[in-house]
Protein backbone atom coordinates (compact mmCIF):
# COMPACT_ATOMS: atom_id res chain seq x y z
CA UNK A 1 0.00 0.00 0.00
CA UNK A 2 1.28 3.47 -0.89
CA UNK A 3 0.47 4.97 2.49
CA UNK A 4 3.01 2.76 4.28
CA UNK A 5 5.72 4.64 2.36
CA UNK A 6 4.28 7.90 3.63
CA UNK A 7 3.93 6.74 7.24
CA UNK A 8 7.45 5.56 8.02
CA UNK A 9 6.53 4.45 11.55
CA UNK A 10 3.82 2.10 10.25
CA UNK A 11 6.16 0.79 7.55
CA UNK A 12 8.81 -0.02 10.17
CA UNK A 13 6.42 -1.81 12.47
CA UNK A 14 5.00 -3.87 9.59
CA UNK A 15 8.57 -4.90 8.82
CA UNK A 16 8.84 -6.05 12.45
CA UNK A 17 5.63 -8.04 12.01
CA UNK A 18 7.19 -9.67 8.92
CA UNK A 19 10.32 -10.52 10.93
CA UNK A 20 8.13 -11.99 13.67
CA UNK A 21 6.25 -14.06 11.07
CA UNK A 22 9.48 -15.57 9.75
CA UNK A 23 10.72 -16.39 13.26
CA UNK A 24 7.39 -17.95 14.26
CA UNK A 25 6.79 -20.05 11.16
CA UNK A 26 9.75 -22.40 11.32
CA UNK A 27 8.82 -26.07 10.90
CA UNK A 28 10.77 -29.28 11.48
CA UNK A 29 9.98 -30.48 7.93
CA UNK A 30 11.82 -28.88 5.03
CA UNK A 31 8.86 -29.05 2.66
CA UNK A 32 6.77 -27.01 5.09
CA UNK A 33 9.57 -24.47 5.47
CA UNK A 34 9.88 -24.20 1.69
CA UNK A 35 6.14 -23.74 1.23
CA UNK A 36 5.87 -21.16 4.02
CA UNK A 37 8.91 -19.19 2.87
CA UNK A 38 7.41 -19.10 -0.59
CA UNK A 39 4.21 -17.64 0.86
CA UNK A 40 6.10 -15.04 2.87
CA UNK A 41 8.26 -14.06 -0.09
CA UNK A 42 5.12 -13.51 -2.18
CA UNK A 43 4.49 -10.45 -0.03
CA UNK A 44 1.03 -9.04 0.54
CA UNK A 45 -0.49 -5.79 1.71
CA UNK A 46 -0.43 -6.75 5.42
CA UNK A 47 -3.65 -4.77 5.82
CA UNK A 48 -5.03 -6.88 8.66
CA UNK A 49 -1.90 -6.62 10.87
CA UNK A 50 -1.80 -2.89 10.15
CA UNK A 51 -5.39 -2.52 11.31
CA UNK A 52 -4.64 -4.39 14.55
CA UNK A 53 -1.76 -2.00 15.22
CA UNK A 54 -3.60 1.17 14.19
CA UNK A 55 -6.66 0.25 16.28
CA UNK A 56 -4.36 -0.29 19.23
CA UNK A 57 -3.19 3.31 19.00
CA UNK A 58 -6.61 4.49 20.15
CA UNK A 59 -5.88 2.96 23.56
CA UNK A 60 -2.90 1.81 25.65
CA UNK A 61 -0.67 0.82 22.78
CA UNK A 62 1.60 -2.11 23.66
CA UNK A 63 3.74 -3.19 20.73
CA UNK A 64 4.99 -6.31 22.54
CA UNK A 65 1.43 -7.58 22.76
CA UNK A 66 0.10 -6.32 19.43
CA UNK A 67 2.88 -7.57 17.13
CA UNK A 68 2.29 -11.27 18.01
CA UNK A 69 -1.48 -10.68 17.80
CA UNK A 70 -1.27 -8.99 14.39
CA UNK A 71 1.06 -11.75 13.17
CA UNK A 72 -1.43 -14.40 14.33
CA UNK A 73 -4.23 -12.77 12.34
CA UNK A 74 -2.02 -12.56 9.24
CA UNK A 75 -1.12 -16.25 9.63
CA UNK A 76 -4.82 -17.11 9.84
CA UNK A 77 -5.36 -15.13 6.65
CA UNK A 78 -2.49 -16.94 4.92
CA UNK A 79 -3.96 -20.30 5.96
CA UNK A 80 -7.36 -19.46 4.46
CA UNK A 81 -5.70 -18.42 1.17
CA UNK A 82 -3.76 -21.69 0.92
CA UNK A 83 -6.94 -23.71 1.49
CA UNK A 84 -8.89 -21.44 -0.92
CA UNK A 85 -6.42 -22.22 -3.68
CA UNK A 86 -6.94 -25.95 -3.14
CA UNK A 87 -10.73 -25.58 -3.34
CA UNK A 88 -10.56 -23.28 -6.39
CA UNK A 89 -7.75 -25.31 -8.03
CA UNK A 90 -5.88 -22.02 -8.52
CA UNK A 91 -2.42 -22.08 -10.07
CA UNK A 92 -1.52 -18.43 -9.50
CA UNK A 93 -1.77 -15.97 -6.63
CA UNK A 94 -0.07 -12.58 -6.65
CA UNK A 95 1.57 -13.59 -9.90
CA UNK A 96 3.33 -16.60 -8.38
CA UNK A 97 2.55 -20.33 -8.41
CA UNK A 98 0.29 -21.30 -5.52
CA UNK A 99 1.31 -23.80 -2.85
CA UNK A 100 -0.92 -26.46 -4.42
CA UNK A 101 0.57 -25.74 -7.83
CA UNK A 102 4.13 -26.21 -6.61
CA UNK A 103 3.75 -28.99 -4.03
CA UNK A 104 0.34 -30.54 -4.67
CA UNK A 105 -2.96 -30.47 -2.80
CA UNK A 106 -1.81 -32.73 0.05
CA UNK A 107 1.10 -30.48 1.04
CA UNK A 108 -1.06 -27.39 0.55
CA UNK A 109 -3.76 -28.67 2.94
CA UNK A 110 -1.15 -29.61 5.54
CA UNK A 111 0.56 -26.22 5.12
CA UNK A 112 -2.75 -24.49 5.79
CA UNK A 113 -3.34 -26.69 8.83
CA UNK A 114 0.16 -25.94 10.12
CA UNK A 115 -0.48 -22.21 9.74
CA UNK A 116 -3.76 -22.44 11.65
CA UNK A 117 -2.11 -24.27 14.55
CA UNK A 118 0.69 -21.67 14.68
CA UNK A 119 -1.86 -18.86 14.68
CA UNK A 120 -3.83 -20.37 17.56
CA UNK A 121 -0.62 -21.02 19.49
CA UNK A 122 0.24 -17.32 19.27
CA UNK A 123 -3.31 -16.30 20.13
CA UNK A 124 -3.46 -18.39 23.30
CA UNK A 125 -0.29 -16.69 24.52
CA UNK A 126 -1.29 -13.11 23.70
CA UNK A 127 -5.07 -12.71 23.72
CA UNK A 128 -7.76 -12.63 26.40
CA UNK A 129 -10.18 -15.56 26.56
CA UNK A 130 -13.03 -13.34 25.34
CA UNK A 131 -11.15 -12.37 22.20
CA UNK A 132 -9.99 -15.96 21.68
CA UNK A 133 -13.67 -16.88 21.36
CA UNK A 134 -14.15 -14.08 18.81
CA UNK A 135 -11.21 -15.35 16.77
CA UNK A 136 -12.55 -18.90 16.65
CA UNK A 137 -15.99 -17.58 15.65
CA UNK A 138 -14.41 -15.68 12.78
CA UNK A 139 -12.69 -18.82 11.46
CA UNK A 140 -16.09 -20.55 11.59
CA UNK A 141 -17.65 -17.68 9.61
CA UNK A 142 -14.89 -17.73 6.99
CA UNK A 143 -15.38 -21.46 6.47
CA UNK A 144 -19.15 -21.00 6.13
CA UNK A 145 -18.61 -18.23 3.57
CA UNK A 146 -16.29 -20.43 1.53
CA UNK A 147 -18.70 -23.36 1.64
CA UNK A 148 -21.55 -21.11 0.50
CA UNK A 149 -19.44 -19.85 -2.40
CA UNK A 150 -18.46 -23.38 -3.39
CA UNK A 151 -22.05 -24.66 -3.26
CA UNK A 152 -23.35 -21.79 -5.39
CA UNK A 153 -20.79 -22.13 -8.19
CA UNK A 154 -22.17 -22.14 -11.76
CA UNK A 155 -25.65 -21.13 -10.63
CA UNK A 156 -27.48 -17.90 -11.45
CA UNK A 157 -29.58 -18.22 -8.30
CA UNK A 158 -27.50 -15.87 -6.14
CA UNK A 159 -29.18 -12.73 -4.80
CA UNK A 160 -27.42 -9.51 -3.85
CA UNK A 161 -28.24 -10.22 -0.20
CA UNK A 162 -26.72 -13.70 -0.37
CA UNK A 163 -23.61 -12.29 -2.04
CA UNK A 164 -23.23 -9.61 0.66
CA UNK A 165 -23.67 -12.18 3.44
CA UNK A 166 -21.06 -14.37 1.79
CA UNK A 167 -18.41 -11.66 1.46
CA UNK A 168 -19.16 -10.51 4.98
CA UNK A 169 -18.26 -13.98 6.28
CA UNK A 170 -15.48 -14.59 3.76
CA UNK A 171 -13.64 -11.26 3.99
CA UNK A 172 -15.16 -8.51 6.10
CA UNK A 173 -15.26 -10.42 9.40
CA UNK A 174 -11.46 -10.71 9.53
CA UNK A 175 -10.97 -6.98 8.90
CA UNK A 176 -13.59 -6.26 11.55
CA UNK A 177 -11.91 -8.64 14.00
CA UNK A 178 -8.49 -7.08 13.34
CA UNK A 179 -9.77 -3.67 14.39
CA UNK A 180 -11.82 -5.02 17.29
CA UNK A 181 -9.13 -7.12 18.97
CA UNK A 182 -6.46 -4.47 18.42
CA UNK A 183 -8.67 -1.96 20.23
CA UNK A 184 -9.96 -4.38 22.89
CA UNK A 185 -6.50 -5.67 23.79
CA UNK A 186 -5.38 -2.04 24.14
CA UNK A 187 -8.18 -1.30 26.64
CA UNK A 188 -10.02 1.16 24.41
CA UNK A 189 -13.39 2.55 25.45
CA UNK A 190 -16.38 0.39 24.48
CA UNK A 191 -17.67 2.97 21.96
CA UNK A 192 -14.23 3.22 20.35
CA UNK A 193 -14.11 -0.57 19.98
CA UNK A 194 -17.59 -0.56 18.41
CA UNK A 195 -16.69 2.15 15.89
CA UNK A 196 -13.43 0.45 14.93
CA UNK A 197 -15.17 -2.92 14.56
CA UNK A 198 -17.76 -1.29 12.26
CA UNK A 199 -15.05 0.52 10.32
CA UNK A 200 -13.23 -2.77 9.73
CA UNK A 201 -16.37 -4.54 8.54
CA UNK A 202 -17.36 -1.79 6.10
CA UNK A 203 -13.79 -1.54 4.82
CA UNK A 204 -13.72 -5.32 4.27
CA UNK A 205 -16.99 -5.22 2.35
CA UNK A 206 -15.70 -2.45 0.08
CA UNK A 207 -12.37 -4.24 -0.31
CA UNK A 208 -14.01 -7.47 -1.53
CA UNK A 209 -16.44 -5.73 -3.90
CA UNK A 210 -13.49 -3.78 -5.35
CA UNK A 211 -11.51 -7.00 -5.68
CA UNK A 212 -14.42 -8.59 -7.53
CA UNK A 213 -14.62 -5.57 -9.84
CA UNK A 214 -10.92 -5.87 -10.65
CA UNK A 215 -11.59 -9.38 -11.94
CA UNK A 216 -13.34 -7.61 -14.84
CA UNK A 217 -11.17 -4.54 -15.31
CA UNK A 218 -7.81 -5.01 -13.58
CA UNK A 219 -4.38 -5.41 -15.12
CA UNK A 220 -3.58 -9.16 -15.20
CA UNK A 221 0.14 -8.69 -14.60
CA UNK A 222 -0.41 -6.37 -11.64
CA UNK A 223 -3.24 -8.49 -10.18
CA UNK A 224 -1.14 -11.64 -10.47
CA UNK A 225 -3.98 -13.73 -11.91
CA UNK A 226 -5.95 -13.94 -15.18
CA UNK A 227 -8.92 -11.62 -15.77
CA UNK A 228 -12.40 -13.12 -15.33
CA UNK A 229 -10.93 -15.96 -13.23
CA UNK A 230 -13.90 -15.84 -10.82
CA UNK A 231 -16.42 -16.13 -13.64
CA UNK A 232 -14.49 -18.97 -15.27
CA UNK A 233 -14.52 -20.83 -11.92
CA UNK A 234 -18.29 -20.39 -11.70
CA UNK A 235 -18.11 -17.77 -8.94
CA UNK A 236 -20.66 -15.14 -9.96
CA UNK A 237 -19.90 -11.91 -8.15
CA UNK A 238 -21.82 -8.65 -7.78
CA UNK A 239 -21.39 -7.28 -11.36
CA UNK A 240 -22.83 -10.54 -12.75
CA UNK A 241 -25.65 -10.61 -10.18
CA UNK A 242 -26.65 -7.04 -11.09
CA UNK A 243 -26.49 -7.87 -14.81
CA UNK A 244 -28.74 -10.91 -14.30
CA UNK A 245 -31.25 -8.70 -12.48
CA UNK A 246 -31.44 -6.39 -15.50
CA UNK A 247 -34.34 -7.70 -17.63
CA UNK A 248 -32.82 -6.25 -20.80
CA UNK A 249 -29.53 -8.13 -20.33
CA UNK A 250 -30.46 -11.27 -18.40
CA UNK A 251 -31.35 -13.30 -21.50
CA UNK A 252 -28.11 -12.19 -23.19
CA UNK A 253 -26.02 -13.34 -20.22
CA UNK A 254 -27.81 -16.59 -19.36
CA UNK A 255 -26.21 -18.61 -22.25
CA UNK A 256 -22.81 -18.08 -20.59
CA UNK A 257 -23.97 -19.10 -17.09
CA UNK A 258 -23.21 -22.59 -15.80
CA UNK A 259 -20.67 -23.40 -18.50
CA UNK A 260 -17.11 -24.59 -17.91
CA UNK A 261 -16.10 -24.51 -21.59
CA UNK A 262 -16.20 -20.78 -22.35
CA UNK A 263 -13.84 -19.39 -24.97
CA UNK A 264 -11.82 -16.24 -24.32
CA UNK A 265 -14.04 -14.28 -26.70
CA UNK A 266 -17.17 -15.45 -24.87
CA UNK A 267 -15.68 -14.40 -21.54
CA UNK A 268 -14.90 -10.95 -22.95
CA UNK A 269 -18.52 -10.73 -24.09
CA UNK A 270 -19.59 -11.41 -20.49
CA UNK A 271 -17.41 -8.49 -19.40
CA UNK A 272 -18.95 -6.27 -22.08
CA UNK A 273 -22.46 -7.15 -20.91
CA UNK A 274 -21.57 -6.43 -17.28
CA UNK A 275 -20.25 -3.01 -18.32
CA UNK A 276 -23.06 -2.13 -20.73
CA UNK A 277 -25.82 -3.22 -18.36
CA UNK A 278 -24.51 -1.02 -15.56
CA UNK A 279 -23.54 -4.02 -13.42
CA UNK A 280 -20.00 -2.73 -12.95
CA UNK A 281 -21.19 0.81 -12.23
CA UNK A 282 -23.73 -0.32 -9.61
CA UNK A 283 -21.07 -2.48 -7.96
CA UNK A 284 -18.68 0.49 -7.76
CA UNK A 285 -21.44 2.61 -6.26
CA UNK A 286 -22.10 0.02 -3.56
CA UNK A 287 -18.39 -0.20 -2.73
CA UNK A 288 -18.31 3.59 -2.39
CA UNK A 289 -21.31 3.49 -0.04
CA UNK A 290 -19.42 1.14 2.26
CA UNK A 291 -16.42 3.47 2.14
CA UNK A 292 -18.69 6.40 3.04
CA UNK A 293 -19.73 4.40 6.11
CA UNK A 294 -16.03 4.02 6.94
CA UNK A 295 -15.67 7.80 6.90
CA UNK A 296 -18.75 8.11 9.11
CA UNK A 297 -17.25 5.78 11.73
CA UNK A 298 -13.91 7.60 11.60
CA UNK A 299 -15.66 10.94 12.13
CA UNK A 300 -16.67 9.86 15.64
CA UNK A 301 -13.26 8.50 16.68
CA UNK A 302 -10.72 10.54 18.64
CA UNK A 303 -8.28 12.52 16.49
CA UNK A 304 -4.81 10.99 16.35
CA UNK A 305 -2.28 9.93 13.67
CA UNK A 306 -3.82 6.44 13.50
CA UNK A 307 -7.17 7.95 12.50
CA UNK A 308 -5.40 9.84 9.70
CA UNK A 309 -3.76 6.64 8.46
CA UNK A 310 -7.10 4.77 8.43
CA UNK A 311 -8.66 7.64 6.49
CA UNK A 312 -5.86 7.43 3.92
CA UNK A 313 -6.42 3.67 3.61
CA UNK A 314 -10.02 4.38 2.66
CA UNK A 315 -8.96 6.98 0.10
CA UNK A 316 -6.42 4.58 -1.41
CA UNK A 317 -9.10 1.89 -1.78
CA UNK A 318 -11.38 4.41 -3.53
CA UNK A 319 -8.59 5.02 -6.05
CA UNK A 320 -7.68 1.35 -6.39
CA UNK A 321 -7.46 0.13 -9.98
CA UNK A 322 -5.25 -2.99 -9.54
pTM of the predicted protein model: 0.92
**What pLDDT sits at residue 16?**
94
**What pLDDT sits at residue 223?**
58
Q: How confident is the model at residue 322 (pLDDT cuts 50, 70, 90)?
A: very low
| Angle (CA) 108 111 114, round 5° | 155
The DSSP secondary structure of 16-75, one letter per residue, reads HHHHHHHHH---SSHHHHHHHHHHHHT----HHHHHHHHHHTTS---HHHHHHHHHHHHH
- Report domain extents, the chain: 2-319
**What pLDDT sits at residue 245?**
95
Higher pLDDT, 96 or 206: 206
Taking alpha carbons only, the member of 134, 145, 139 closest to residue 169 is 145
CATH superfamily of domain region 2-319: Farnesyl Diphosphate Synthase (1.10.600.10)
User: How far, CA to CA in Å, does 210 sit from each of 57, 146, 321?
Assistant: 27, 18, 9
Average pLDDT rounded to a whole number, residues 219-245: 84
Residue 111 has pLDDT above 50, yes or no: yes
Bridge partners of residue 93, in order along the sequence: 96
Taking alpha carbons only, the member of 215, 193, 214, 203 closest to residue 172 is 203
Average pLDDT rounded to a whole number, residues 237-257: 96
* Percent of residues, the chain, with pLDDT higher than 70: 95
Amino acid sequence: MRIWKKHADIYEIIKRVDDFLRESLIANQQVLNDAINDLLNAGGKRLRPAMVLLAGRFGRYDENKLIPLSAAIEIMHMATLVHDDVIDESDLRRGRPTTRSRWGNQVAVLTGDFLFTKAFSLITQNVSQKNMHRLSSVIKSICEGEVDQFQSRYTADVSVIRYLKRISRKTAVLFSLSCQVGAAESNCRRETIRLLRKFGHDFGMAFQITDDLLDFSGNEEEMGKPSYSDFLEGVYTLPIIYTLRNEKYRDKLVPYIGREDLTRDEVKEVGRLAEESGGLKKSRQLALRYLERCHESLKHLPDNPAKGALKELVEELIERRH
